[in-house]
């Protein structure tokens, strides 16, 4: 039996928000995001990158909230190179310089439905103590020249990092024509909370 497919292209619609962050040691942070995807993918609508507002902790809560909207649609012929959301968080240090507080990346979920991702954020670390001290003093910390490098696997084996916070992102995913092309992406999520930190979260299917 032959699967009939009129289309060789499928669409992925991402509606979501960068909810906020959890950084115990830092305050007054803003976030930059961008998408990284393979050669077969192209965004059709929506913004590919953006910057959030600067947020601070309030007296009631230690959470940092951005509530920043993400609305993008991608088209592709092949699930390889599935888009990833790369997030980088910046904030002021003691002297007022703008330094990076964390980089992180996550794949956009592919089962339709709601997903919540809590991604760990890490910064590159200088290798020796003197460099750490002068970096703190002068505000010149190591950062990646291109944040998109955290979405790739190559070349990471020589980097030393320190993880120091988390960013929470929620997604609502829709796909079009993936089933028609023969792809099975598993059961649809009705309402699942998946967190990278809690070990006791399990699917409610």
Partner 1 sequence: MAELHIIGQIIGASGFPQNSLFCKWGVHTGGAWRLLSGLKEGQTQVDNPQTGDMAYWSHPIDLHYATKGLQGWPKIYLQVWHQDSFGRCQLYGYGYCHVPSSPGHHRISCVTWRPLGSWQEQLAQMFVGGGPQLRNPDLIYSGADRYRLHTETMGTVELELGIIMRHFDKYGVES
In the numeric block, which tokens belong to residue 196?
A: 């990278």
Give the nearer residue to partner 1 in terms of CB position, either 140 or 202. Answer: 202
Can you name the residues that pair with 21 across neighbouring β-strands? 64, 167
| Order of strands, sheet of 64-76, starting from the edge strand that comes earlier in the sequence | 10-22, 64-76, 41-46
Q: How far is the CB of 149 from partner 1 (least distance, A)?
A: 10
Residues forming contacts to partner 1 in the complex (CB under 8 A) are: 1, 3, 24-25, 38, 78-82, 84, 104-107, 109-111, 115, 119-120, 122, 125, 127, 150-154, 156-157, 159-164, 181-187, 194, 196-197, 199, 201-203
Q: Which is nearer to partner 1, 69 or 133 (CB)?
A: 133
Tokens of 1: 């039996």
Nearer to partner 1, 70 or 87 (CB): 87
Decide: helix, strand or coil at residue 58: coil
What whole-number distance in Å separates Cα of residue 87 and Cα of residue 71?
Answer: 15
Between 46 and 79, name the residue whose CB sits nearer to partner 1.
79
């Amino acid at each position: 039996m032959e699967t009939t497919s009129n289309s060789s292209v499928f669409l992925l619609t991402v509606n979501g928000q960068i909810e906020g962050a959890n950084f115990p040691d830092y305050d007054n942070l803003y976030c930059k995001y961008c998408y990284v995807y393979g050669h077969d993918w192209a965004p059709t609508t929506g913004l590919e990158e953006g910057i959030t507002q600067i947020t601070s902790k309030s007296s009631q809560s230690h959470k940092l909230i951005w509530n920043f909207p993400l609305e993008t649609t991608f088209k592709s012929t092949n699930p390889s190179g599935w888009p990833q959301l790369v997030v980088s968080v910046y904030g002021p240090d003691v002297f007022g310089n703008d330094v990076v507080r964390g980089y992180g990346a996550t794949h956009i979920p592919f089962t339709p439905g709601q997903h919540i991702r809590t991604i760990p954020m890490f910064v590159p670390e200088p290798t020796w103590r003197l460099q750490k001290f002068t970096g703190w003093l002068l505000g010149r910390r190591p950062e990646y020249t291109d944040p998109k490098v955290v979405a790739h696997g190559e070349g990471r084996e020589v980097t030393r990092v320190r993880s120091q916070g988390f960013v929470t992102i929620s997604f609502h995913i829709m796909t079009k024509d993936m089933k028609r092309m023969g792809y099975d992406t598993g059961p649809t999520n009705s309402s699942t909370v998946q967190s990278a930190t809690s070990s006791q979260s399990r699917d409610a299917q």
